């Protein structure tokens, strides 16, 4: 482990000996860099108080220039020996790049025309004891950027825009659902029985209750309980946890919004999705057509694609004829494909990846999943071997999942037990008896959908890694 810089520690000691507190309690700021730069005619000649981190420093003896970085940008500070207070000039001898300072002074333009604050007073607000990344090279090591996001934000302040936009996505969706009368709720993160998705959970233990608990992989079954209880429009922004691989679109903890509405089906939610994205693009000031990783995504062009028909057409494999996992794996392997696991779901997934999604960048509703791999979904009305389910893909990335929810308690119980017999612990929805009891009281026809916030943020910020839009992503040691 590295240590603080000895020279900076020595400066810190001298400041303290001079009676200067290098870590004071507050500073009364009244202006930000961006506001001054954009409204110079208003600020010209006015006294302002600004604060920020020193990111550049040039000492010419009787004249010092440095730039500070605040929440909204950066601005130049000028410290003149014939203007600044004596205390400010003395303090300047102990400053380093990385220090956080407060400045009170007059807004003007230098001879070179740069908007600058002519400092009268200078206060040290936090003495930095470590060197910042080189100002010219920046912080370019990708792994270091993710591990030390605070340095990333200092060295690459444009990164902050990703997280501002990410929050705008959340705000826009929340406003959209609220405007339709949905109620936002909180459901348990620690669950006795995990469910709502096919994923391996994280396991923990509660000492006082003397019981093992799971971090939720989905909040679906709790939100359905609320539908049963009479809250007919409900949603939750949730942090969910899945003990799975880490790659460009997966992080063990991730954020999604799930929303449910009684008396609707998945067709209704296709229309609702289009309206939601109309508002989302408008709120993000994005056009209906924009570039993502060199490809154009056209939000005027939502399309429905039957994965069953596409696979049959392009491979002659009838996935509805599969009798068991052995047959599925054998037929898929014969095409030279290698499913990550020998399950029906993974066999369908690899076929979709290679024969359905290839060159699909516009938003699509992928429909016609085999009913037997959809344990929480109603049968399709015109073909009971298929499910009333769609997955939303944008730019070739899965961003959402929607069902006409299964509301028959007898069928739901049978589906849970069927899965329990067929698959390993990390590949099925465990039997949740409390949920089955709840649904036996009667659940109205319901549509439900989950949207991945991290993946939407990837697309709308034109990033190809989920780690770019998660402030502190999980990293291997």
Kind of pairing between the strands at 73-80 and 115-126: parallel
Dump pLDDT digits (tens) for 249-267. Answer: 999 999 999 999 999 999 9
Is residue 259 within 8 A of residue 449, CB to CB? The reply is: yes
pLDDT band of 137, cuts 50, 70, 90 = low
- The token pair at 112 is 């070179």
**53 and 193 together in one domain:** no
> What does the chain come to in residues?
477
- pLDDT tops 80 at residue 136: no
- The token pair at 471 is 């402030």
**206 and 118 together in one domain:** no
pLDDT band of 139, cuts 50, 70, 90 = confident
Dump pLDDT digits (tens) for 400-413. Answer: 999 999 999 999 99
Is the C-alpha dihedral spanning 182, 188, 191, 194 positive or negative? positive
pLDDT at 408: 98
Dump pLDDT digits (tens) for 151-192. Answer: 999 999 999 999 999 999 999 999 999 999 999 999 999 999
**80 and 196 together in one domain:** no
Is residue 20 within 8 A of residue 91, CB to CB? The reply is: yes
d(CA 413, CA 77): 69
Summarize the confidence of residues 451-461 as an average pLDDT.
Answer: 98
Q: Residue 272's closest CA among 312, 235, 241, 221?
A: 235
For 408, phi and psi rounded to 5 degrees?
A: -85, 110
For 125, phi and psi rounded to 5 degrees?
A: -105, -25
pLDDT at 133: 83
**106 and 178 together in one domain:** no
Torsion of the alpha carbons at 173, 176, 180 and 184, rounded to the nearest 10? 40
d(CA 37, CA 43): 9
pLDDT at 91: 96
Tell whether 178 is covered by a domain. yes
**Biggest alpha carbon–alpha carbon distance for the chain:** 89
**172 and 297 together in one domain:** yes
What total of structural domains would you count in the chain? Answer: 2
The CATH number given to whatever domain includes residue 215 is: 3.30.930.10
Kind of pairing between the strands at 63-70 and 295-298: unpaired
- Domain range for 179 is 159-302+362-469
Which residues partner with 296 through β-bridges? 291
Is residue 244 within 8 A of residue 250, CB to CB? The reply is: yes
Q: From the CB of residue 7, how many other CB atoms can be counted at a distance below 10 Å? A: 10
pLDDT band of 125, cuts 50, 70, 90 = very high
- pLDDT tops 70 at residue 138: no
Dump pLDDT digits (tens) for 186-241. Answer: 999 999 999 888 889 999 999 999 999 999 999 999 999 999 999 999 999 999 99
Dump pLDDT digits (tens) for 264-292. Answer: 999 999 999 999 999 999 999 999 999 99
Is residue 406 within 8 A of residue 412, CB to CB? The reply is: yes
Q: Residue 418's closest CA among 331, 344, 340?
A: 344
Between the alpha carbon of residue 374 and those of residues 201, 412, 452, the distances in Å are 19, 11, 19
Provide long-range contacts, Cβ within 8 A and 24+ apart, for 185-190. Answer: 185/223, 185/226, 185/231, 185/234, 185/235, 185/236, 186/236, 187/216, 187/219, 187/222, 187/223, 187/236, 187/238, 188/216, 188/222, 189/215, 189/216, 189/238, 189/239, 189/241, 190/214, 190/215, 190/216
d(CA 298, CA 304): 14
**Last residue of one domain, picked from the residues 92, 116, 132:** 132
Tell whether 88 is covered by a domain. yes
For 42, the enclosing helix (H) or strand (E) is: helix 40-43
- pLDDT tops 60 at residue 380: yes
**279 and 410 together in one domain:** yes
Summarize the confidence of residues 417-421 as an average pLDDT.
Answer: 78
DSSP 128: -
Say if residue 412 is exposed, middle or buried (CB neighbours under 10 Å; 0-12, 13-18, 19+): buried
Summarize the confidence of residues 106-113 as an average pLDDT.
Answer: 96
Dump pLDDT digits (tens) for 47-74. Answer: 999 999 999 999 998 999 999 999 999 9
Is residue 4 within 8 A of residue 113, CB to CB? The reply is: no
Between the alpha carbon of residue 34 and those of residues 40, 53, 275, the distances in Å are 10, 15, 34
Q: Which residue has the higher pLDDT, 417 or 458?
A: 458
- pLDDT tops 80 at residue 428: no
The helix/strand/coil state of 261 is strand
- The token pair at 342 is 């020998």
Q: Considering the chain, what percentage of its residues have pLDDT values greater than 90?
A: 89
For 69, the enclosing helix (H) or strand (E) is: strand 63-70
d(CA 357, CA 392): 11
Lowest mean per-residue pLDDT among 71-75, 109-113, 139-143, 421-425: 421-425
Which stretches of 142-283 are DSSP H helices?
142-147, 149-155, 160-179, 220-228, 266-283
d(CA 334, CA 293): 33
Tell whether 353 is covered by a domain. no
Lowest mean per-residue pLDDT among 33-47, 90-104, 419-433: 419-433
Q: Average pLDDT over the chain, rounded to whole?
A: 94
Single pTM value for the model: 0.93
Which residues partner with 403 through β-bridges? 389, 448
Which stretches of 301-452 are DSSP H helices?
307-315, 325-333, 344-355, 409-422, 433-440
Q: Considering the chain, what percentage of its residues have pLDDT values greater than 70?
A: 97
**276 and 366 together in one domain:** yes
pLDDT at 141: 86
Q: Which residue has the higher pLDDT, 134 or 111?
A: 111
**83 and 224 together in one domain:** no
**172 and 249 together in one domain:** yes
pLDDT at 425: 44
The helix/strand/coil state of 313 is helix
**Last residue of one domain, picked from the residues 69, 97, 132:** 132
**182 and 293 together in one domain:** yes
Dump pLDDT digits (tens) for 112-123. Answer: 999 999 999 999
The CATH number given to whatever domain includes residue 64 is: 2.40.50.140
pLDDT at 233: 98
Is the C-alpha dihedral spanning 148, 154, 156, 160 positive or negative? positive
pLDDT band of 134, cuts 50, 70, 90 = confident
Tell whether 149 is covered by a domain. no
Kind of pairing between the strands at 383-394 and 253-262: unpaired
Tell whether 324 is covered by a domain. no
């Amino acid at each position: 482990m590295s240590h603080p810089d000895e020279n900076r520690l020595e400066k810190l000691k001298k400041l303290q000996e001079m009676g200067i507190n290098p870590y004071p309690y507050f500073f009364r700021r009244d202006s930000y860099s961006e506001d001054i730069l954009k409204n110079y005619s208003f600020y010209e000649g006015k006294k302002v108080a600004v604060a920020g981190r020193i990111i550049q420093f040039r000492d010419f003896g009787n004249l010092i220039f440095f730039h500070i970085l605040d929440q909204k940008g950066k601005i130049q500070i000028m410290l003149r020996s014939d203007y600044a207070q004596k205390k400010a000039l003395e303090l300047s001898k102990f400053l380093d790049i990385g220090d956080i300072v407060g400045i009170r002074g007059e807004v003007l333009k230098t001879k070179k025309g740069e908007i600058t604050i002519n400092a009268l007073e200078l206060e040290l607000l936090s003495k930095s004891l470590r060197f910042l990344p080189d100002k010219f090279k920046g912080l370019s090591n990708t792994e270091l950027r993710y591990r030390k996001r605070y340095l990333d934000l200092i060295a690459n302040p444009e990164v902050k825009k990703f997280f501002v936009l990410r929050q705008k996505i959340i705000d826009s969706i929340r406003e959209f659902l609220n405007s339709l009368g949905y109620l936002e709720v909180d459901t348990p993160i620690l669950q006795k029985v995990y469910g709502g998705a096919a994923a391996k959970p994280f396991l923990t233990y509660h000492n006082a209750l003397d019981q093992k608990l799971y971090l939720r992989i989905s909040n679906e079954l709790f939100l359905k309980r609320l539908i049963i209880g009479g809250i007919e429009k409900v949603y939750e922004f949730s942090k969910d946890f899945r003990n799975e691989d880490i790659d460009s679109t997966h992080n063990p903890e991730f954020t999604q919004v799930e929303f449910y509405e009684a008396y609707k089906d998945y067709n209704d939610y296709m229309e609702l999705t289009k309206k939601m994205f109309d508002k989302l693009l408008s709120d993000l000031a994005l056009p209906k057509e924009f570039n993502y990783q060199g490809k154009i995504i056209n939000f005027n062009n939502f399309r429905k694609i039957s994965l069953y028909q596409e696979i049959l057409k392009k491979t002659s494999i009838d996935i509805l004829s599969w009798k068991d996992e052995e047959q599925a794996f054998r037929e898929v392997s014969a095409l030279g494909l290698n499913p990550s696991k020998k399950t029906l779901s993974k066999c369908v997934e690899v076929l979709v990846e290679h024969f359905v999604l290839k060159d699909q960048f516009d938003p699509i509703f992928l429909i016609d999943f085999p009913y037997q791999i959809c344990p929480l979904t109603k049968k399709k009305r015109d073909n009971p071997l298929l499910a009333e389910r769609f997955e939303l893909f944008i730019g070739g990335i899965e961003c959402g999942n929607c069902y006409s929810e299964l509301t028959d308690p007898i069928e739901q119980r049978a589906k849970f037990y069927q899965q329990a017999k067929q698959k390993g612990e990390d590949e099925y929805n465990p039997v949740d008896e409390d949920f089955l009891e709840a649904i036996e009281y009667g659940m109205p026809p319901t549509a439900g959908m989950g949207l991945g916030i991290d993946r939407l943020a990837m697309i709308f910020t034109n990033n190809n890694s989920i780690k770019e839009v998660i402030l502190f992503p999980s990293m291997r040691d």
